[in-house]
A and B are shown apart, each in its own frame.
Chain A
Amino acid sequence: MNYQLEYDHIKTMELLLKEHLNKLQIEFELNDNQLQIDGIVSDEKRIQLESILAKFKICIIDCEDLTIVQQIKNAIDLLLNSENDARVNLSDYLSQKLNYSYSHLSKTFSETTFASIEQYVILKKIEKIKEFLIHSNVTLTEISYRLNYSSVAHLSAQFKKVTGLSPTSFVRIMESKKKFFSNVTQ
């Protein structure tokens, strides 16, 4: 026996969501596949919701983690560009700025980028050193002072540890590279 079915998939979806979200006491609205939830959903509820929806092959697509990672990066950039970054405690600064606990921030960051916030800060400092080395004539002493390194030796050691190159060989390579590519394009 065959039966013809008549249904409206949007209505079906709405009813399905209503039934399951009501159980979790979540108020919502559905517009064009976008679920708007009133208030904040606890992590626990969110996990429950995810597993319920997964049974119906419904997957929550969100970039919340990526958004947090970007916010962390922006805050770090801001800090490194300001004058007083050495006097600021990174974890206090980030949790105050972004209104999350540092453990949540650091977990989200490493789960998304596979590296720690601290590793990112060092990487950004190295980037700043590179910028100085390439685009200005300031000495290593001046750079280490501006970026709050205790000494040139400390700066050079960290640079070498992260990049595998000494600051001087980095500069030499960048200069040869520039020459090589200007010859190629001519």
Chain B
Amino acid sequence: MSKPPMHIFLVDDDLDDRLFFEEAIQCLDMNVSLEMFSGGQELIEYFQDKAKRLPDLLFLDLNMPVVDGMECLEKIRGKDHLKEIIVAIYSTSASEKDIEETFIKGANIYIQKPNNFDQLKKSIKKILQLNWHYHLTNLDKEAFLFRL
């Protein structure tokens, strides 16, 4: 049986958050491969090489030094070859203004960083289940907005 794994990126400057995320993904035991970046700059550099493999789903922290999440989002949505990527904003902010702004600028999913590990696993699982459908079928990505 060979089902291709879903390819996931996480961009977060906080090392602990990255480690928690990685552990949560491993615990879920779903068919995914994870690649992590410690900042927006690294991600943008990765995307500059068009031969590189694109993620099916990208988790993006908002609050990062140098190049922040919002800037990354705008760059991604401004590039034709990156437009199809499902972007999930992964942030501590609960401000309605932030949430709406990220959706308007093209984010598909908004999750508030949970404060415990179990909740984190649940949130990621919910998103992966949801995203799997988009990954395997052609639903309207433009209108794919999801807040957790």
Contact = CB atoms under 8 A, between A and B. Distances in A.
Answer whether A and B are interacting partners: yes
Interface of A: 59-63, 65-66, 69-70, 73, 112-115, 119-120, 123, 127, 130-131, 134, 162-165, 169-170, 173-174, 176-177, 180-181, 184
B121 to A, nearest CB: 13
Interface string B108-148: 00100000000000000000111011001101100101111
A94 to B, nearest CB: 16
10 contacts: A60-B1, A69-B136, A73-B137, A115-B130, A115-B132, A115-B133, A164-B146, A165-B147, A177-B104, A184-B78
Nearest to B135: A113
Nearest to A110: B129
B30 interface: yes
B90 interface: no
Interface in B28-56: 30-31
B21 interface: no
Contacts of B148: 164
A163 B104 contact: no
Nearest to A64: B1
Instruction: Decide if the interface of chain A is mainly helix, strand, loop or mixed.
Output: helix
Nearest to B105: A180
A107 to B, nearest CB: 14
A123 B104 contact: no
Contacts of A61: 2
Q: Which of B129, B132, B140 has the most CB of A within 10 A?
A: B129
Given A176-B104, A184-B78, A115 B147 contact: no
A66 B1 CA distance: 10
What 6 A-B pairs come out closest when comparing CB atoms?
A: A164-B147, A115-B129, A176-B104, A130-B143, A177-B104, A173-B103
B103 to A, nearest CB: 5
Given A69-B136, A113-B136, A176-B104, A163 B145 contact: yes
Contact of A114 (B2, B103, B129, B143): B129
A173 B104 contact: yes
B122 to A, nearest CB: 13
